[in-house]
Structure 1
Amino acid sequence: MPAASLSDPRVENVRAALKAAGLEDTVVVVPDSVATAATAAAVLGCEVAAIANSLIFECDGAPLLIVASGAGKVNVKLLALEQGLGKISRADHDFVLRYAGQPVGGVAPLGHPAPIRTFLDTDLAAHSRLWAGAGSHQAMLSLSYHELLAVTGATEAVVR
C-alpha cells in the first residue's frame, strides 16, 4: 500500500467531510502505517482506548459501521441483540472498499461515498480527544466524542 500524502484523494475526501461538517481539519499524515490501534496509539502518544476504530461489517447485505475503542473487541452478537439488527458478519476487503471508499485499517468514520448506518461505542466518551483513521494507513484525525457523534449521526451503543 503506497504511503498517503496530502494529495491522497481518500484523505482529501475525509478533509472535505470535516470541513463540510464545520469541523477543524485535524488530519495528520505520518510516514509509517498506523493501521492498528496499537501502532496508532504508539505513534500519536495516546492510550489505545482513545483510538476510535472504524470497522465496517455486513448486516443483511448492507454496510454497518461500528466506531469502537481500540481497547477491545466488538461483540457483534450483543450489538445485534441490543439494537434489533440481523446477523452481523465481518466484511471482506472488497466490500469495505466498495462502501467506505477506504482500505481496511484506514477507514475513517466519515468521508464515505454514501452514508453508512453507524454505531458509536460509548466507551469512547471517557476520552477528551479521540483519534480515528482518515482514509489511509498513514492518516489519522482527531476530534471529541461529541464531534464524532454529531458528524457520523451515529447511534450510541455498548459494543462489548
Structure 2
Amino acid sequence: MGIEEVKSYFQREGLIDRVKEFSVSSATVDLAAEAAGVIPARIAKTLSFYGKEGAVLVVAAGDARVDSRKFKDAFGIKAKMLNHEDVEKYTGHPVGGVCPFLVPKGTEIYLDVSLKRFETVLPACGSDKSAVELSINELYRLSKASGFVDVCRCWMDEG
C-alpha cells in the first residue's frame, strides 16, 4: 500500500481535494504540523501495536501519549509497539506514512478520545510526505474504526 492507493480511495469517496502532499517530510507529528500549518495536537498519529492476532492501530491526537495501564485495560494486552521491520507487514504502510486507511485484513483500528476536541484532524495518507484533513466522523467512517477508546494521557490540559 502507499500514497497512490490511499489517494485512489479518497478519489472514490469524493474527498481527493482534502489530500495534501508535501515537498518536505511529514513523518513525525512536529514535521507534519509544520508542513500542514497546524498545531501538533491536530495531527492524528497512527500508533501501531502488536495485537492478540495481527496489529492494533490507535489513532490519537499529536499531543497524546499512550498510557500503558489504560491500554492494557482496554485491550487486555500489554502495549508493545510494532518493531520497525514489522510496521509495513502489519499496517500495509511504510514507517512515517502509517495511516488507518486500507490496512490488511485483521488489523484492528480504534480512535482515541483525544481526537474528539477538534473539528478536523490530519492523519497521514500512506507516505511520509502526506496528510488528509478530515472531521472526526469522516475519520471514523473512512478508517472503518471499531470504536473509540481512552488509552492516552498528557493531552487534557492542551487544545
TM range (shorter): 0.7 to 0.9
**Equivalents in 2 of 1:150, 1:28: separation in Å?**
19
Cα separation, 1, equivalents of 2:9 and 2:68: 27
Q: Is 1:107 equivalent to 2:95 in the alignment?
A: no
Structure 1 segments of 4 or more deviating over 3 A?
Answer: none
Q: Which residue matches 2:124?
A: 133
Say yes or no: does 1:90 pair with 2:81.
yes
Quote the RMSD (CA, aligned, Å). Answer: 1.7
Secondary structure at 1:90's aligned position in 2? coil
Whether 1:58 aligns to 2:53 is: no
1:78 is matched with which residue: 70, 87, 106?
70
For the 8 Å contact 2:55–2:106, the answer to whether it is kept is no
What is the TM-score with the length of structure 2 in the denominator? 0.85
Task: State percent identity of aligned pairs.
Answer: 28
Query: Are 1:123 and 2:75 an aligned pair?
Result: no
In the TM superposition, residue 126 of structure 1 has moved relative to its aligned partner by 1.2
User: 1 CA distance for matches of 2:87 and 2:46?
Assistant: 11
Amino acid at match of 2:90: Y
| 1:27 pairs with 2:33 | no
- TM-score normalized with structure 1 length: 0.85
Three-state SS of the structure 1 residue aligned to 2:102 is coil
Is 2:135 the partner of 1:159? Answer: no
Q: 1:16 aligns with which of 8, 12, 15?
A: 8
How many pairs does the alignment contain?
A: 150
Flag structure 1 segments of 5+ consecutive residues without an equivalent.
1-8
Q: How far does the alpha carbon of each residue in 1:90-139 deviate from its partner, in whole angstroms, 9 at most, with x for none?
A: 10122111022211221111022335211101121111111111111111
**Closer, same or farther: CA 23–146 of 1 in aligned 2, 3 Å:** farther
Q: Does 2:134 correspond to 1:143?
A: yes
Separation in 2 of the partners of 1:115 and 1:150?
17
What is the CA–CA distance in structure 2 between the aligned matches of 1:128 and 1:115, rounded to whole Å?
29
